[in-house]
Amino acid sequence: MNPVAATPYVFFLGIGGIGMSALARWFQANGHTVSGYDKTSTPLTEALAAEGIAVHYQDAVASIPAEVRENRAQTLVVLTPAIPKDHQEWAWLREQGYDIRKRSQVLGLLTQGRPTIAVAGTHGKTTTSSMVAHLLHHAGVPSAAFLGGISVNLGSNLLLPPTALELATRNSPMTAESVPVVVEADEYDRSFLTLYPDVAIVTSTDADHLDIYGHKDALVESFRQFVSQIKPGGTLILNHTADSSVAQAAPEGVRVIRYGLSPEQGPELYASNITAQGHQFRFDMCGPQGIVSGLELAVPGYHNVENMLAAACVGQLYELTPEQLQAAVADYRGVKRRFEFILTAGATHPDHVYVDDYAHHPREIEAFLRSLRALYPGRQLRVVFQPHLFSRTRDFAPGFAESLSLADEVVLMDIYPARELPMPGVTSELILSQITAPKKSIQSREQILTNAETDTNFDVLATVGAGDIDQLVPRLKNILNIRWNGAQA
């Protein structure tokens, strides 16, 4: 029997993770008793608690809810790879013989037997999967989604599928089992190999997670295996920059559609007549399923135009009309911490802006900063970056330095360790020493806040990173709102 359906109690180790919390919300909505541990309280864990999920922050067996401790056979434990090996609760649950499964395994069970749209890639997958979910939902296609970020349109990282009663009320030909599920397919720890998609998008296969894979060839091989699991008759939507061997792994009968920004790059699916007006990008979509003209995307960045091409291609597979695509694209508002405009100054400070972004790979940072430069040419750009993981800093320090050097000033924070222990000789100085921007420094949180209050030598501020840099965002917003607009945020 599927343990997802058989267990009334579900306990999460690392419940505050973006992917873990989506699963927790799914179980809660489906009548399970959900609880979990996380290291620190965050707005996301507080939101889970407000939704009726018991969350604790002390690693102690006594903190595990009584119903979990007293009902081993009726409890499913969901584990994130970020939990350290010496975690007391995890050790006790193992010793007691609980059914402990990785988040990816549970996601694989939840999507088993359902039409699955899986979005993979070393960067771009969160935005692209949120776009797919939004386009289908906006057009009224019954669907579900597990996302790796908070969709601004949905206000959540989870889109629940309609119930059988709701489907009947809509006169939908779909059953609960035939509703498509959009999932973000994570390559870390080969997690996405639990998925068997009907439609797969691969946004990129750039080197990353070398602490797991060792070298890029092993990473590419993992993407090849993921693509080989596409169901017969399915579709692979592949970014033209991905390793060419990935397409060769698609099973016989799987349709491959390559996409990119322009036909000169060689893809069958591309954008034409791209124009930028303020924060908005307007373009036509040209591809094997026809032309859709006049698409207007309110989330800036050429990389987001490219992401939307892949998402809209899925929309076409689900028979969305050009008019439905135009309306849905125009209504898309992005993902929290993906090119998120935190503050725009008023008339007294034109072209002053504060933007926050989750970018934590050199190519992501380059795409983000180039788009920011295009939006605000000639403005003084200060970037505050928190490196994520010692291993990623070690492996990509030159790339980080090159991409960050697009700014006028770079402020580095200390490395966010996440699941890792410190590595000898690996600090933010490794990046700083190679940055060629006119101004560069390493600063503490308090220094960053103080300098935002007193230093007026910047027009555009960007905070960037995947660690806990987001905790600075509300404080920086308040400081800059007082400076630029004379008001509390």
Question: From CA 375, how far away is CA 320, in angstroms rounded?
Answer: 31
Q: DSSP assignment of 300-349, as one string?
A: --HHHHHHHHHHHHHHHHTT--HHHHHHHHHH---BTTSSEEEEE--TTS
Residue 127 counted as an annotated binding residue: yes
CB atoms within 10 A of CB 468: 15
Does 123 belong to an annotated binding site? Answer: yes
Q: Is 116 annotated as a binding residue?
A: no
Per the annotation, does 40 bind a ligand? no
Q: Within 10 A of 457 (CB to CB), how many other CB atoms are there?
A: 10
Residue 188 is given by DSSP the state: G
Segment holding 282, helix H or strand E: strand 280-287
Phi, psi of 146 (to 5 degrees): -115, 115
Residue 259 burial (10 A CB sphere; 0-12, 13-18, 19+): buried
215 annotated ligand binder: no
Q: Rounded CA gap, 222 and 216, in Å?
A: 10
The response to whether 439 counts as a known ligand-binding position is no
Cβ neighbours of residue 64 closer than 8 Å, sequence gap 6 or more:
11, 35, 37, 89, 92, 93
**Of residues 390, 398, 342, 341, the one with CA closest to residue 365:** 398
Q: Is 378 annotated as belonging to a binding site?
A: no
AA letter at 102: K
Contact 79, 146 (CB under 8 A): no
Q: Concatenated DSSP letters for 347-401?
A: TTSTT-EEEEE---SHHHHHHHHHHHHHHSTT--EEEEE--B-HHHHHHHHHHHH
- Check if the beta carbon of residue 121 is closer than 8 Å to that of residue 201: yes
The DSSP symbol for 199 reads E
Q: Which positions make up the binding site?
A: 121-127
Q: Which positions make up the binding site for ATP?
A: 121-127
